[in-house]
Structure 1
Amino acid sequence: MCKLLVLCCALLSVSTQAALWSITYPRALDDKDLRTEYPLAVLTLALEKTGVKYKLRPSDRIMLKGKALRQLKENREVNVVWSVTDAQREKDLLPIRIPLTKGLMGWRVFLIKDTQKARFDRRFSITDMRDFIPVSGEEWPDTKILQANGFNVFTVASFTDAYDILESNRADFFPRSVVEVENELKAGYFSSDIILEPRHAIYYPTAMYFFVNKGNTTLARLIETGLKMALEDGSFDALFFSSYESTLKNLKVDERDIIFINNPLLPPQTPIDDATLWYRPANIAQ
């Protein structure tokens, strides 16, 4: 174990170890919404590494991301939320700057209406892509990123609304991260005439972190210590690849035409230079 982890572990006092940590996270939309599975697995791994006693429980009510982040800022209902980062979120909350999905939230494939497939069957430049209208959530950092790169984004209140927008031809594609799209395809949130576009992907650097309330520094240190221990002993990467290796192969990320765009929302503290924290497809120069 490296000296840094020894120091981190020393900071976890005897009282911290003895306490029962009750950790509340935002409740998922329904039983089909599997987006909580991996973040909860990572959180469980981190807490197990620290040896503390803990109890994880969902919030009493369903919370969309924007609501969950506001409640966390006010120290109400939830005490941990996982979310894509941006400068405002890091100003309002306390981020734990270890990318939970190794940057996969920035690898975006497209859901489209099957009648639109022929329009996507060629190589695109970023200029070409701006002729297409993406649909995205009103409060998502992804929306601001797309807008900053010149896209005319159709915004919706929740991700399930986006499928209706595709169905009605008010938008051309729904960019979904590679960690989300397979579960959504299986969950049946939309009709069979919405399909996965097979050729393209967009990439921008971004990170999904655990966030806690700014006043909850002890919980932040606890989670960060566990994550660093899991990175050090290889169990973090083992969980990541067991969760996503087959997905990356199924989506053929290594074979897609990648359109790179900028992320002006990326805070300067993002550990972008630490290659161990990020995934890069084999067809992209390391």
Structure 2
Amino acid sequence: MKRFNQLKKAVLTAFALCLFILGPTVDAATWTITYPRPIDDSDARTQYPIALLKLALDKTGVNYELRPSDRILLTGKAMRQLRENREVNVVWSMTDSQREKELTPIRIPIAKGLIGLRVFVINQSKKAKFDGVLSLNDMRKLVPVQGEEWPDTKILQANGFNVFTVPEFREAYDMIKQGKGDFFPRSVMEVNAELEAQGRRNNLYLEPAMALYYPTAMYYFVSSSNKTLANLIETGLNRAIEDGSFDALFESTYAPILASLRVNERKIYTLENPLLPIETPLTNSALWYKRTMDASKK
């Protein structure tokens, strides 16, 4: 009887998974999928991850409701809540080995590695410091500002930087405005929207000629106990890759931003990433933005 019950449970679990994967052929109940509410619901940085998640879910044909959490959740808090199966059941964030141990990553880089391509927000009074940067060793003499719990902080430290840390990104902007630290490395995905939100009348300045790059990925993460949702999102993303809709959304979102930042004209200094899990699909060139992957170490 015990063996029969185990078999019955396995069959039911497999059937439930099929309901998700088969999608259009099944009239299933509506699934509520909750993501972290941003500080501002109009935050441009969240528009692409949400749009891509909707695209992936649509590709599976399941009935779903995608909605933000009831309260604002910054990344660190959102990841903790996700581990405890509270408030949210999907979060997108940069990966590292610890996060992949505690949660289930869907190992498809949703922004093709752009999260690791960093331009520099600086105080206008410090422009001259960057005129003297001719090598990565010169860059290491400058002090970057980063968040206390961010994987980026450990990556920069492992590459010889003395990092000034703050609890969250708004405080990092405050530090730069006050002239503390030398630069705030921000992903090309984020920087335009963030500077726009800071307003025009301030002493912030986007350094125009350089960037840092380290190989990393932004993934969707779900709870380690929610394999069905992980399979659902992965299936939808793969279908979007196969039919070209993933790339179309990526290009329409980021091509204008990359052009405005003149990424192809910048000198890019490439760093090592000791936090990168070995499972990261670096060899699948279709998943990565080509300019960042071709960046040479200088």
Do these two structures clear the TM 0.5 threshold for a shared fold by scoring above it? Answer: yes
1:51 aligns with 2:32: no
Report if the CA contact (8 A) 2:22-2:61 is conserved: no
SS in 1 for 2:291: coil
CA–CA separation in structure 2 for the residues paired with 1:194 and 1:284: 30
TM-score (norm 1): 0.92
Partner of 2:179: 169
Cα offset for 1:50? 0.5
1:214 aligns with 2:224: yes
Cα offset for 1:185? 1.4
Report if the CA contact (8 A) 1:102-1:277 is conserved: yes
The partner residue of 2:107 within 64, 76, 97 is 97
Cα offset for 1:16? 7.2
In structure 2, relative to structure 1, the CA distance for the partners of 1:184 and 1:282 (3 Å cut) is closer
Partner of 2:73: 63
Report if the CA contact (8 A) 2:49-2:92 is conserved: yes
Cα offset for 1:122? 4.3
CA–CA separation in structure 2 for the residues paired with 1:69 and 1:99: 18
Partner of 1:241: 251
The partner residue of 2:21 within 1, 12, 25 is 12
TM-score (norm 2): 0.89
Q: Which has the larger radius of gyration?
A: 2
SS in 2 for 1:18: coil
Partner of 1:280: 290
CA–CA separation in structure 2 for the residues paired with 1:12 and 1:91: 25
CA–CA separation in structure 1 for the residues paired with 2:168 and 2:201: 17
Cα offset for 1:150? 0.8
In structure 2, relative to structure 1, the CA distance for the partners of 1:88 and 1:191 (3 Å cut) is farther
Moved over 6 A (4+): 8-11
1:124 aligns with 2:129: no
What is the percentage of aligned positions where both structures have the same residue?
Answer: 60
CA–CA separation in structure 1 for the residues paired with 2:95 and 2:275: 8
Partner of 2:261: 251
1:140 aligns with 2:136: no
The total of aligned residue pairs comes to: 279
Partner of 2:89: 79
Report if the CA contact (8 A) 2:91-2:220 is conserved: yes
SS in 1 for 2:44: coil
AA aligned to 1:67 is K
CA–CA separation in structure 2 for the residues paired with 1:75 and 1:16: 27
Cα offset for 1:11? 7.2
Deviations, residues 195-216 of structure 1 (Å, cap 9, x unaligned)? 1100110000000000000010
The within-5 A match list for 1:188-203 is 188=198, 191-203=201-213
RMSD: 2.1
CA–CA separation in structure 1 for the residues paired with 2:120 and 2:70: 33
1:158 aligns with 2:158: no
Deviations, residues 159-192 of structure 1 (Å, cap 9, x unaligned)? 0101111122220000000000011111126852
Deviations, residues 29-72 of structure 1 (Å, cap 9, x unaligned)? 12453221110000000001011111011111111111100000
In structure 2, relative to structure 1, the CA distance for the partners of 1:13 and 1:276 (3 Å cut) is closer
Partner of 1:39: 49
Report if the CA contact (8 A) 1:28-1:36 is conserved: yes
> Which structure has more helix as a fraction of its residues?
2
CA–CA separation in structure 1 for the residues paired with 2:200 and 2:275: 30
Deviations, residues 97-124 of structure 1 (Å, cap 9, x unaligned)? 0000000000000000111112212443
Structure 1 unpaired stretches of 5+: 1-7
Report if the CA contact (8 A) 2:132-2:138 is conserved: no
In structure 2, relative to structure 1, the CA distance for the partners of 1:13 and 1:241 (3 Å cut) is closer
Partner of 2:9: none
Report if the CA contact (8 A) 2:29-2:63 is conserved: yes
SS in 2 for 1:26: strand
Partner of 2:194: 184
